[in-house]
Amino acid sequence: MRIGFDAKRAIQNFTGLGNYSRYLIEILCRFFPDNNYLLYAPKHRSSRQFDMLLSSCPSAECRYPQGIWRYFKPLWRTFGITSQLVNDRIDIYHGLSNELPIPIGKRKSVKSVVTVHDLIFVRYPQYYHPVDRWLYRYKYRKSCRNADAIIAISECTKRDVIHYFGIDPSKIHVIYQGCDPSFCSPAPDSLKKEVKELYALPERYILNVGSIEERKNILLVVKCMKHIPEYVHLVIVGKCTPYTDKIKQYLTENNLLHRVHLLHGVTFKHLPAIYQMAEIFVYPSRFEGFGIPILEALHSSVPVITATGSCLEEAGGPDSLYIHPDDTAGMTEALNRLLSHPEQRKRMVEQGKRYAALFSEKSQAKQLMNIYHSLLSDKK
C-alpha cells in the first residue's frame, strides 16, 4: 500500500499530537515495512525527534506543497493537498490530528481515515476562543463525515463523536494510544544523577506532567501541599500558560514556593528519569481524550492518582486511584495514604505495569493495518 499521513504535527509539535503522530508512523514502519509511507507537511522543520523517526523508517518519505500552494501553505493542508494525494497514487490518507482535507470525500481513489483525539472544545467551551470553537467544530465534524473510517483514541471520545456529531458508531474504531518505549526501560543511575542535579530535583516528590493550563487542574494538587508532609515536594513539568500565574500567586500567598517546582523546556530524553524518581504521579485533569502521561507513569513504575469524569479510567486501569477533580480533601487523603503506605504503592506499581503491557505497539499497529486493508477491500 501507499499510505499518506498528515505529518504537520509530527514535524512541528513535540508534545501530545506530535508524539502520537510520530509514534503511530514509527510502529507502522517497524511492523509493516513493505508499505510506502508518505508524510505530508506544510513545511520542513528539522528536529531530533523527527530526524530520529525518518532514520528509523527507511520506507518513509516527506512531501511538501508544490506549485502555487507553496505560497498558500495554511490552505494547502485543507484544500490543495488532495490533488497531490491523487498524483502520488495514495491508497489511504490518514489525518492524525482530528482533520482531513475538505475535498477528500470526492476523491474516490483515495480512502481516508481520521484520528479524533477529543472534543474538549465542545464539552468545555470556556477554555477556547469563540472563533477557534467554531472552526474546530466545522473542520472536525466535516472530517468525521467525509472519512471512510474514524479512529477514536478512547471509548469516551467515541461516545462524544457519536453524540455531538451524529456519526454512525459502526464507522468508529477505538485504538488506544501507546507511549514512547523509552519509558519502559529503567534509566541508568548516571542519567538519574545528571537529571537530579540539572533540574535541582528534591529527594522525595510527587510528579505531574502536562501543559500547565486550567483544564489540567494542577492547582487542586498544589492546594493539597499544605497538608502533605514538609519533606515531600511537588514537581510540575509542562509548558506555561496564563494559568501558571495563578499557580505562582497561590504558592506565594501560602508560602509554598520552596516546595513546588515548575519545570519548563525539559528535554524529552530526561523525562523517563524524572518519572522513575517520583513517588507518586498525579493527573487531576478535568477532561482528556486519553491521557498519555498516565501510561508513561505506569510504564515508569510509578503509582497513579488521577481524576474521574472522562477517559482517564481507561488509561489508568483498575488499580490506579481516581478522585473527583474538585475534591481537594479526597486528593489530600489519597496522597497521604500512598506516601505512608509503601506496600500499597508497590502493589499499584505491579498491577499498573501489567495493565500498561496491554497497550502493545504490535497490537496497535495490527489493528490499524486491519482497518486500512478493510477499506481497500471495500474499494475493490
How confident is the model at residue 220, as a pLDDT? 98
| Residue pLDDT, tens place only, 141-189 | 999 999 999 999 999 999 999 999 999 999 999 999 888 888 999 999 9
Q: What is the pLDDT of residue 380?
A: 58
Whole-number percent of the chain with pLDDT over 70: 99
Share the mean pLDDT of the chain: 94
Q: Order of strands across the sheet with 60-63?
A: 60-63, 36-40, 2-6, 92-95, 111-116, 149-152, 172-174
List residues bridging with 113 in a β-sheet.
Answer: 94, 149
Q: What is the pLDDT of residue 379?
A: 64
Please name every residue paired with 61 in a beta bridge, in sequence order, or none if there are none.
38
Q: What is the pLDDT of residue 36?
A: 96
Confidence (pTM): 0.87
Residue 129: the pLDDT is: 93
Q: Which of 39, 88, 84 is nearest to 60 (CA)?
A: 39
For the stretch 253-277, pLDDT in tens is 999 999 999 999 898 899 999 999 9
User: What is d(CA 285, CA 127) in angstroms, rounded to the nearest whole number?
Assistant: 13
Query: For 87-132, what is each residue's pLDDT tens digit?
Result: 999 999 999 999 999 999 888 899 999 999 999 999 999 989 999 9
The whole-number pLDDT of residue 351 equals 97
pLDDT at residue number 263: 96
Report the pLDDT value the prediction gives residue 181, as an integer from 0 to 100. Answer: 85
d(CA 364, CA 2): 19
Dist. CA 52–CA 130, nearest whole Å: 38
Residue 208's nearest CA partner among 259, 261, 131, 256 is 261
Q: Give the pLDDT score at 64.
A: 94
Q: Do residues 266 and 274 make contact, with C-beta atoms less than 8 angstroms apart? A: yes
Q: What is the pLDDT of residue 74?
A: 86
Placement of cell 506549485 in the chain: 67
On the question of pLDDT at 52 being above 90, the answer is no
Longest dimension (CA), the chain: 68
Cα(314)–Cα(336) distance, integer angstroms = 24
Q: Is the pLDDT of residue 207 over 80?
A: yes
Q: Is 92 left (phi over 0), alpha (psi -120 to 50) or beta?
A: beta
Looking at residue 377, its pLDDT comes to 87
Residue 19 predicted with pLDDT over 90: no
Confidence band, pLDDT 50/70/90 cuts, at residue 286: very high
- Rounded Cα distance between 285 and 306, Å, is 7
Residues β-bridged to residue 209: 237
Q: What is the pLDDT of residue 219?
A: 98
Average pLDDT over residues 26-44: 94
Q: What is the mean pLDDT of residues 24-36?
A: 94
Please give the share of the chain, as a percent, with pLDDT higher than 90.
82
pLDDT tier at 6, thresholds 50, 70, 90: very high
